[in-house]
Every structure is written in C-alpha cells, then in structure tokens.
Amino acid sequence: MLIAEKAVYGILKFLISFLLLLYVYLVYEKLKEIVFESRRKKESSVINGIIDALFVKLSNSENIEKDVVDLKKYAKTFTGREIAAERLMGYIELIRGDLRNALSRICEELGFVDYEMANLKKRDTFRIALACRRLGEYRSEKPLELLLDKLKTDVYEVKYNALLAISKIGNNEYFLKAFSQEYKVQMLSERNLMEIANSFEGDKAAIYKKMINHENEYLSSIFIRAAGNDRILEVSEEVGRHLASQSFLRKIAAIKAAGQMGDFRHADKIIKELSDPDWRIRAVAAKSLGELGAPGAGVHLKEALKDSEWWVRYNAAFSIIKLGNYEDVLEEIFSGRDEFAKDAAFYALETAGLIKERASASDLASGNLKPFDLKLKQYMEKKGLQYEHN
C-alpha cells in the first residue's frame, strides 16, 4: 500500500510539475512572439524602404551599390534575410525583362541563392522543399543542376517545388531534361503538372511542341491541355493531330485544347467526335464547339441536344447559345417531342438571361410573336411558367 501510495504521489507531483512547466513555457512563447513581432515590424519598415528605393533607382538606371551594401548588413540576421527575401521575391514576381534579371542578380549578390542552395543539402525535407520554391522565385540559373538532382526524390513536396522552380527559371534545356524518365515526374498529379507547365517562363511554344508529342500519353495529354490554357496558336497543328488519337487521354485533352485555342481548322474534327461511343468525349466535344465558336456547328449541336447522356445535352445547349443565332436551331427542338432536349435548351436560355430579354422584346399585346417565341411560349405555358414583361 505504501509503495502504491508513493507511486500515486509521484505521479501527482510529476503531473503538477509538467503542467506548471507547460504553462510557463506557453507564457514564455507568447511573450517571445510579442517581442519578435515588434522587432520584425521595425526592421521591415527599414529593409522594405531600402528595397523600394533600390527598385526605383534600378528603374531609372541609377547606381545601386550603396543600397546593396546596406541590404547586406541587414541580411546578416535571420529576420533581416527573411524580410529582404520576401520583398525581393514580390518584385521579381511582378516584373519581367532586364529589371527582373537585375533583381535576380542582387539576390545572388546578397547570398540568398547560395543560402538556399546550401539548404538543399539538409536532411529536413520541408526545408529542402522551401529552398526549392525560393530558388524558383529568385529566377537565378545558378541552382539548376542541383534542382534537377532534387527531382530524383520520391518526396512529393520536394519533387513538386523543384520542378516548379525549374519551370519558373525558364531554361528550356533543363525543363525538357526534367521530364526524362529518370526523374519520374509522373508521380505528381495532373493538376500539379498542368500548373507547372503553365508556369514555364521560357520559350513555351518550343517546349510544348516537343512535350505534346511525348511518348508518355499522360505527360503528352498534360501539355496538350496546358497549350489550350495558354492559347498558344503555334502548337495548334500539333494539338489537332491528337484529335483523332487512339489514346483517350490525348484525344480528350486535344478536344478541350482545340476549343480553347479558337482555331476553326479543327471544327470538323471536333464535330465528328460528337458521335463518339464514349459519352465523356461527346460531352467535351459539345462544350468545346461552343468555346471554339465555329459557325455551322449549331446543326450538329442540335443533334447532340437529343443525346441520351445528361452532360452532353447540357453542354450542347450552352454551346448553341454561345454560338449566337440560336433561334433556328432551337425552334426545331421546341417544335419536337424530346422533352429532355427542350429542358436543357430552356435552362441554357434562362441562365443566359435570354428568356427575360425575349419577353421584353416580344410584341405580346398584338400577339404577333416570332415562330420561335411562339414555340417557347407554348413550352413555358405547359410548364406553368409565364412569358411576360416584368
């Protein structure tokens, strides 16, 4: 009993001491944070002031030697370096051309690039990932070899940030190398890779031309879609070649991209895809034709309105509206018996605010309605909706 009692008292003493320590530690941390914040605030205003002045001088091609010397002094401490790095990264992100190159060189001169390169050798994976990210933001070509080496890792954060850094630095040769088999960048998700492709700051057309035809269908499809996002017309032909691809990924990516690029040359090929056996291809083709704005696609989209798949009908209806001149196409739909097609078409008209617009423009009082409006009115009456002026 005595031993048990001693043990319980021991536990109690331990817990109370632990609790007190925890409390003291919390108060200490809170006070430290208050002091740190106020110091950071003071230093920020000085350092940011120097960098802002330096930027103005750089823009006016004035001498910046003294400002760089001043910055070096502040950048010796951890806080100073963090503040300066943050400000410089902000400027680098905003501007392009010679000014950006000059700021990038200042980052090298201040030792920021070397500092992060040294961090790449640390064991802490998050520190490495952060270093990769910052090296990308400095846009210096100095760490390219090291960044490429970091791609060999299987750690998601490091691989993503290293590849994004290479993309931002914008060196074509290294960017292409990064997608070679040994670096296994395919482990990154589709959206990650598209973001990386879209972030590339070198000669995009040249890179996309090569990558669109990459032997790996996953990578190839990502660059096809990225080309669509960026609307790079120089690669439109390459994209068009994949419209008839046997690969589902390449084909669907090409249909999307062709629509975004707005190159009418691809219209016929996309129209053909409206009858693909796979509904996903049909749905994307229907949407893409609307984005493309191809004249003459309306007749084919009208047929797509009768598709058995909800998404195909939905996309076709919105595309018909986007194309303009929808009256002739939709009059036939509203005269027909396909209620699903009518519903989809009516929803698209309503969402685009066209029902209200037509009702206001129609001569309801005289009853002299256009044939399309008459059909629309009949459909609405059947549904218990009113076709009136507000």
Partner 1 sequence: MSIIRDIVVYFNFFIIFYVLAINVIYFLQLMLSAFSLSSYIRKMMSSDYRRYTSSINMIPISVIVPAYNEENTLVENVKSLLELNYPLFEIVVVNDGSTDGTLNKIIEAFNLKRISQPIRVRLKTEPIKGVYKNPELFNLTVVDKENGGKADALNAGINASIYPVFVSIDADSILESDSLVRVIMPFIEDSRTVAAGGIVRVANGSVIEGGLIREVKLPKSRLACFQVVEYLRAFLTGRMGWDALGSLLIISGAFGAFDREAVIGAGGYARGTVGEDMELVVRLHRKMREEKRLYKIRFIPDPVCWTQAPENLKDLKTQRRRWQVGLIDSLFRHKKMLFNPTYGILGLYAMPYFFLFEMLGPVVEISGYLLIPAAFFLKMIDVRFFLLFLTISVIYGVILSVGAILLEEYTFNKYRSMKDFIRLVAYAVLENFGYRQLTTAYRVLGTINYKKHKSRWGSIKRKSFIDSNR
Contacts of 189 (CB under 8 A, 6+ apart): none
State which of residues 108, 332, 338, 343 lies at the interface with partner 1 (CB under 8 A): 343
Kindly state the DSSP code that residue 141 receives in the 8-state scheme. S
Question: d(Cα 181, Cα 9) in Å, to the nearest integer?
Answer: 63
State which of residues 24, 26, 244, 361 lies at the interface with partner 1 (CB under 8 A): 26
Q: Cα 339–349–326 angle (5° rounding)?
A: 90
Q: Binding to partner 1 by residue 340, rule CB under 8 A?
A: yes
State which of residues 91, 115, 156, 248 lies at the interface with partner 1 (CB under 8 A): 156
Shortest reach from residue 201's CB to partner 1, in Å: 13
List the x/- string, 163-182, binding to partner 1 by CB under 8 A. Answer: -x------------------
Kindly state the DSSP code that residue 367 receives in the 8-state scheme. T
Q: Binding to partner 1 by residue 347, rule CB under 8 A?
A: yes
Q: Using the structure block, give the residue that is written with the tokens 């909706």.
A: 385
Q: Which of residues 200-229 bind partner 1 (CB under 8 A)?
A: 229
Q: Binding to partner 1 by residue 280, rule CB under 8 A?
A: no
Segment interacting with partner 1, rule: CB under 8 A, options 40-48, 67-75, 95-103, 342-350: 342-350
Q: Which of residues 47-86 bind partner 1 (CB under 8 A)?
A: none
Question: d(Cα 185, Cα 199) in Å, to the nearest integer?
Answer: 16
**For residues 132 and 163, is the Cβ–Cβ distance under 8 A?**
no
Segment interacting with partner 1, rule: CB under 8 A, options 48-56, 109-117, 183-191, 325-333: 183-191
**Both structure tokens of 281:** 């291809």
Biggest alpha carbon–alpha carbon distance for the chain: 105
Shortest CA distance to 286 belongs to which of 265, 264, 263, 267?
267
Q: How far is CA 253 from the centre of its chain?
A: 16
Q: Which of residues 288-317 bind partner 1 (CB under 8 A)?
A: 310, 314
Tally of helices (H runs) and strands (E runs) in the chain: 22, 0
Shortest reach from residue 94's CB to partner 1, in Å: 14
- Residues in the site for partner 1, rule: CB under 8 A? 5, 8-9, 11-12, 15-16, 18-19, 22-23, 25-26, 29-30, 33-34, 124, 126-127, 129-130, 132-133, 156-157, 160-161, 164, 189-192, 194-195, 198, 229, 310, 314, 340, 343-344, 346-347, 350-353, 356, 383, 385
